[in-house]
Every structure is written in structure tokens, then in C-alpha cells.
Structure 1
């Protein structure tokens, strides 16, 4: 197979990375500065599996008109003495040898999967020097159980959030079925409400919706402050202590069927996110029930069916893409050229409660996720957390705007390409993004690719020593929920 350089749809022949731009000498945004605080120095790691061996020279040749067309990927973050040491973007000449790492590997090593896992874990022990643009790319030509080679992109979160980086990644890809075509974007189909029979009734419904939105927002803001100053999650075996932001992470991933997720989605009239949140809730319940059972045994008691303490408070910092609310972006136009992608951190978060407890009907986990998700969508909590972070950073200090340490985990999901793609001529097998540096011991990330759903778990092993078991529990919970949907006759037999 001949690997060729990607053919950009619209770009310039050469990128003048030393020329001035709109972003040059501009200060970092308030949210970008927050990612430099000691308790939230967060890096995004994207593990990409490929169906072929990687050609480093081809990849380097393509970076010039893709990643390096982005000012943030070729800019230093330096203190501005005129602004009291506040960081600013300063363009520089990029030496790709400082960013693209190609270690020499033994193709006959005993456990390639564990090598890659350890390699990524070792990356989480270090940061990227601020003397260069804060990103690097590691090319591992080693065959694993699910890929012929692996690329690991590490980016400091100040450069952009998961949504903007996924958009940038998609701009670097082309369809396998049509090497000249861009991948299709996942579409969020919003329900169109028909006009009501009477004008007054329609007006009343709209008024009620607005009042409900503001009431829910008020309640969520109050709960946000109560959480910040008082309300901590229950000290479960999954809850990390203060200071875990600086600890190394063990990052593992598991593939499940997106078709199984869609089967549950369609049968229960919910969203893909509802299904995955419900599956995660069921998995964490299984995991904690097992852990508390072992604690009982070690204390001399007998492990029972239900070992969970009552009234466990377990919540997630659930991240939300705010671009639909704050900017008008045509992503389909942006991915035509990497230079058009708008990097940045337009994310807020909501405090999302999980109901931890064994259920007689496993589908109740999905119903609970749907109800909580619907309630959170009828609120401006995510927008509020974003605006409050900007306010505190601008007028006080970034320390005032740090991410909550009171929650048990971070949770995020990003839709990926809907069909198989190549990146710089290399066919992609999977995409697995996650983070390290967050102030929680556990993060669960979900990303779709073609007919697969990738689950990525990032943990502090000192708190959560069994990340593979969490993946097992997620996989098993999805299977149980799918089987329950089929057994209850919620889907036709020809749907599975």
C-alpha cells in the first residue's frame, strides 16, 4: 500500500509561521489561563490507532498545512510584563523535531498493548516545556491487539477544547471510500414543535418554558455554590482526595458496539448520551457494590447481594460544548481547511448527579439519565459556569475559577467521524481522547467512530487501581441493558 500525502481542499502552498496574525501578541483567554493553574494544569491526550504502519516523513510533511496553519500550534505562551505577567500568544518558528517523537521499538516485544499503555501513562508524569508550542506527537510503530500502529497527540488544554480539536482532526482526514471527500459530520436533529391550536396556549407554553429555564438555572446556581463551599461527594473508593491533579494517570480504553447503543436509544426514545450516561451509572453501581463487598469481607462480614451504603452522593463534572449558544460556526465549512478551524475553550460544565443503587429493572438507569439530562438541558448552568469562570479570572484570580474538586469524576463525550477515514493517508482504526491533570481521580470519556463507541477511562491508580475492571463493568452494563430492551419486547426482532 502506497501512502501519499493528504490533498488539502483549500490551503496555501507554504505557511509563513513567523508572520503576524490576529492572535499574535494577544493575551490568553480567561479559560485558557485557568488551565495553567496548579490544580487544573490539564493536557488532552488523543490516542489514535491506525490500520497501517506509520510513515513519519509523510506525517511531518502534512503538518505544515494542517496543524501549523493554526496560530496556537506555532505560538509560545509567554508572560506579558505590560500586563503584570499575564500570558500571551507569541508566534515562533516551529522545529518539528522538537514535537514529533519517533522512538525505536522492538517489534517482537512481549506485550505491545501494555507497552503502549505504559508509554501513555509515562506521558502523564510530565508536561510540555513552555519554551516551545505546547503540543507533541508520538508515533509508535508497534502492532497492538486493535491496531497496526499508534499515534499519541498531546496538547495542553489552553490550545483548545475537545470539540475544536476533534474538528481540527476531522479537517486532516478524508473518507476511505472517497479519498477526496471530507468525513460526514454527526448531525444533532432538533425536534420541531408544531404550532399549537391556539395563540394564547402557544404563548403560555413559551412563557412557562422561559420561566422554567430561569427557575432551573437559579436552583442549579444555588446548588453550585453549595457544592463549592460545603457539599462534597460521599467518600467512596472512587473519590480522590485533594491534590490528585498532579498525580500520574493510567489510561485504558475499550470498544463497544455503537449499534447496540443505538438499539437502546431507539427502543427507549432517548439520546445516545442518555444511554451512555445510564450505562456509566449502572457500571459505577456494579463497581462500587463489588468494592464495598470486599470491604465487608475484609472486616469479617459476609458479602451480600447489595453491599452499597445508603444515600451515596456521586456526581460528575459533565462538560458541555457551548458553541451553539455563543458563536455561529459552520463546522462543515471549517473542516474544509485546517486553517479555518477555530480553536478555543468554549466549554461549560454541569454538576450531574448519578443515582448509585441496585435496580430491579436495569433500564431504570437509562430512564434516570434521561430525566436528569432533560432537566439539565432546561437550564443555563453550563453557560453560567463558563461566564463565572471568565468573570473571576478577569477581576480576581484564576484560583477562584478552578474546577470543582467536590465531584467524584469528570465525564465528557465527543462525536467522531461517521465513516472510516484516513489521516495523512493512514487509515484510522480508532480514536480515543482523554485528559490528565484534572482534580478528580476518575475521568470517563466517550467518543464514537463509524459503528464503534470507544470508552476511555483515565484514573489515578492510587485511588482507582482497576481501570480495566471499570471498562469491563461498562461493557457488561451495556450488554445487560441491551438484553433487557430485547426481553421486554421494546424492539422488533429484525432490529438486532
Structure 2
């Protein structure tokens, strides 16, 4: 919420809220907030191992809207829309002896989720984007099975299908071995992108830049690439809530190429190879097994060590293809990011309508001018797009 859009008589909220509390009766029949009915009758659900492992990681999403915040409409929208999600109306409860935490339903209080920050209005007037960026930075100092071909397809098709499983098994063994070796002793070589002092906490600055999604599509089509769509469906009571945590280690090649498309070709080759592996499944299972056998501290230490031995974390997500609203307010952009991993740079890509948003969470000590890094992303896409256009013209003439 922006401070300018709030009523002048609204009390500025500065306290941080917590979702963790302690049950005095072992969690049996625990009631929170005096609620009745479903909120009080729903039995506590154990917090998943993955969620416990990531409890010190925080997701930050910056949403740009086209109009000033209408406070009553926003409150009504949050109460009506977000209250449907179990996690939004739950808190973590643990026994007094520090037992396993559980999710317990509580009565939703919208005022607990809307905070009006105190911003320097002179700074807002001078550069509103930087004022928001500074505020966000301050928060951090807070597979599917392959179908068997029909018999009519012939022996060659059957042999190819069988070979795909052999390749899958081999790639999985290699990737899992590489993952555990990285956890134990393998380290990325030092580059400008690698944090110098892993043991020290540094403030993370979160910045973003919108790129043309049409340019991304042009390059994708020129290189015969593909998008991965993940579609979740089902009724609310059929959805299994929680985090399914898995990792894939991807090599990045740093070097100068005469043809900018060579970067894309190498990346596509690596990703195509990773698609023929169950690395993410095994790493997910390993995380849960380690957590159950050795506890949260051991699992977190191993997880932290693996992240510390790598250079960059990145993820991507496909967003709405049409403009959406946030509680009655037209959304201009969506920029998800976060802080917590002990790496100097985290990259998130988020598509929305015809924009691909590049979101960076950077260690301020390592990247004093993170906007220059965003300029590099823009320039790289421009060069790759121009090379793709030239490639298309060459093929047309041929």
C-alpha cells in the first residue's frame, strides 16, 4: 500500500507481525482469535518439511497499480479474496516444549495484513520509484512419465522409448552425484557475481526492469525453444498446501561470443539435458529425508552450504496474459523477488501481458550500482534479438 493513498487519520503501522505462537495444551483443540465454526474446528495441519526448511526465506512481490489505492475497496478485496486461502488465515503453533509446528486456522483480521509505512515525503516527491525501492530494501534488514508407444509404431520407436529411460537413469545418477558433491566440497570459482563474505549478512536491494515479452518470444521462436506451463487445478479443499522444494544445478558459461545467439544455444542445450533427469525429484526427497532423520538445524546447514557453494539462484514464472486487477485496482506490473539465500545475486523472471519483468535481489556491497546490471540485461536481450532477426532474414533468403 502506498502512504499517499492512505487516509490521513489512519494510524501508521510499524510493528512486525508473527505467525508463530505457542500452544499451552499441546495443540489439541487449540483455538485462536476466539473464532467459532470451521476456524476453530479444523484440526491442526503439520507444517511441511520444505516449509520448515525455508522459514528464513522471505518472498517480496512488488505490484504496480494504475490508480491510487482506494483503501475501502482494497480492504474489502483482501477480506473477500485472500480469506479463501487456508495459509492466509492460519498461524503456526508449536507445543511449549518446542515440538513440531502446525498450521492452525484463525479468524482473519484484515488490519493485521495492511501496513502503511512511514516514508520520507520529500524523497517520494523527488524520486518515487527510488523511495519505494529503498523501503523494500529495508525489509531485508527483515516430471511426468513417458507414454509407451503403441505396438504399431515399430521396433525402432520402441527402442527409442527404451533408450530414453536408460538416458533418464544415467542423467539422474550423474546429476544427483553432482548435487551432493556440490553440497560437500565442490565450489563455483570466484567471479564478480559471487558473494565475498558468506558469513556476513548484507542488506539486499530489490530492483526490477520490464523487457518486451514479444522480443523474448521472437528469440524463442528463432531458436525453436519452448515454454514450460504449469497448470494447477482443483477445488480449494482438494489442494495440498505447502512447499514442494527441489533443486536443479545449472552450469553458467561466462565468456565472449561473436554470435550472441551462442549464449542461447548453450543454455538450451543444458536445459534440454536437464529435462532428461529426475534430479529435482531426488533433491526434493533428500531434503525431506534429511529433515526427518537429522532435524531442522542439520537440514538447514546442508541447504545453506549448497547455496553458498553456488553463484546465482534464479527462477521464472509465467503470469497472466491479460491485464488483471488487485482488489479492484488495475495491475500495471508484477515483480516477485525475495531475500534470505546467502548468494549475492538472485534473479526472478515474471511475465505479465506483454512484459517480461526481470527482478534482481542483490547484495548492496557486491553490486553498488544494480541498475547498471539491469541495463546489461536490456542490452543483452537487444543484441540477442537483433541476431535472431538476422538469422531469420538469412533463412528467408536461403
Q: Does 1:205 align with 2:160?
A: yes
Match of 1:112 in 2: 128
The CA deviation at 1:242 is: 5.5
Aligned equivalents of 2:36 and 2:221: distance in 1?
Answer: 47
Q: Determine which of 79, 82, 89 is the counterpart of 1:67.
A: 82
Q: Is 2:69 the partner of 1:18?
A: no
Rounded Cα–Cα distance in structure 2 between residues aligned with 1:262 and 1:118? 33
* Counterpart Cα distance in 1 of 2:329 and 2:237: 21
Q: What residue in structure 2 maps to residue 160 of structure 1?
A: none
Q: Is the 8 A contact 1:26 1:88 kept in 2?
A: yes
Aligned equivalents of 2:118, 2:188: Cα separation in 1: 45
Q: Which whole-Å CA distance do the structure 2 matches of 1:103 and 1:211 have between them?
A: 56
Q: Is the 8 A contact 1:245 1:438 kept in 2?
A: no
> Are residues 1:424 and 2:379 paired?
no
Scaled by the length of structure 2, the TM-score of the pair is 0.81
What is aligned with 1:93?
107
Q: Indicate whether 1:395 and 2:395 are aligned.
A: no
Give the TM-score taking structure 1 as reference length: 0.66
* 1:48-88, Cα deviation, whole Å (9 max, x unpaired): 00011111221111222322222221222122357x52222
State the Cα deviation string for residues 290-316 of structure 1 (Å, max 9, x = none): xxxxxxxxxxxxxxxxxxxxxxxxxxx
TM-fit CA distance, 1:333: 4.8
Structure 1 residues 248-397: aligned runs within 5 Å:
248-272=203-227, 331-333=232-234, 342-397=240-295
- Supply the distance in 2 between the matched residues of 1:206 and 1:15 (Cα, whole angstroms): 56
Indicate conservation of the 8 Å contact 2:204/2:361, yes or no: yes
Q: Is the 8 A contact 2:149 2:161 kept in 1?
A: no
Measured after TM superposition, the shift of residue 434 of structure 1 is 0.6
* 2:34 maps to 1:34: no
Residue 290 of structure 2: SS of its match in structure 1? helix
SS in 1 for 2:266: helix
Matches within 5 A, 1:413-492: 413-489=316-392
Distance 2:141 2:185 in 1: 31
SS at match of 1:235: coil
Are 1:411 and 2:309 counterparts? no
Structure 1 alignment gaps of length 5 or more:
1-13, 127-190, 274-320, 325-329
Match of 2:19 in 1: none
**Coordinate RMSD, CA, aligned:** 2.9
Distance 1:259 1:120, change over 3 A: same
Q: Deviations over 1:335-368 (max 9, x none)?
A: xxx7776542123110010111101211010000
Structure 2 CA distance, aligned partners of 1:245 and 1:386? 28
